[in-house]
Chains A and B, each alone.
Chain A
Amino acid sequence: EDQVTQSPEALRLQEGESSSLNCSYTVSGLRGLFWYRQDPGKGPEFLFTLYSAGEEKEKERLKATLTKKESFLHITAPKPEDSATYLCVKSCCTGKLIFGQGTTLQVKP
């Protein structure tokens, strides 16, 4: 069964305290791995697409990486405005997306 598992479910950081969010996925049929950011009461905002192991993408304080079985979202020196739920999403088969449950990040000043 296609699955995406994110950990931890929730993460509290102090401003400036770097950390990583983990996403593990079932390998078969991977066409792409997406990261989204979702603020409360809003739609997910697209961040990155990763297609193959070893690929990395960066945007401001965020860097996404992909291995054969996992993806990581590294947050360097986070700020309170980085607080959100981060969704890891696998694209497979005919473009169907498999969503992880998300990691809710809270960054305290």
Chain B
Amino acid sequence: DGGITQSPKYLFRKEGQNVTLSCEQNLNHDAMYWYRQDPGQGLRLIYYSQIVNDFQKGDIAEGYSVSREKKESFPLTVTSAQKNPTAFYLCASSLGTGGMSYEQYFGPGTRLTVT
């Protein structure tokens, strides 16, 4: 089955610790994205990558970092610099980004709780 997997589903961390969220896709999509979703707010873009070894900041990149070493994988690290890291994190992928409008397909999400 083609799709996007995120792990773990739930993650608990102490304040001051960095944590890495996994995202893998087997859709052969070029573009991948990370969003965060908070109650009562729309999805907000953290980072996106159009191609391996390249990525761009989204609207709320501060306190986060990413890497794109393989086409299938786009891990997100939530660093201790992120002031309010508790949220629901969603990874997505699409065929491309520019030119035509490509729909994005989402993973199941990771709920991160930092105390």
Contact = CB atoms under 8 A, between A and B. Distances in A.
Nearest to B33: A97
A44 B101 contact: no
Interface stretch (B11-19, B62-70, B79-87, B91-99): B91-99
Given A31-B100, A51-B101, A97 B45 contact: yes
A97 B106 contact: no
Interface string B48-68: 000000000000000000000
Given A43-B106, A43-B108, A95-B31, 14 more contacts: A4-B42, A34-B104, A36-B106, A41-B111, A42-B108, A43-B6, A46-B105, A46-B106, A49-B103, A95-B97, A97-B43, A97-B45, A101-B40, A101-B41
Query: At the interface, is chain B mostly helix, strand, loop or mixed?
Result: loop
Interface residues of A, number: 23
A100 B43 CA distance: 8
Interface residues of B, number: 26
B40 A97 contact: no
A42 B109 contact: yes
B42 A32 contact: no
A34 B103 contact: yes
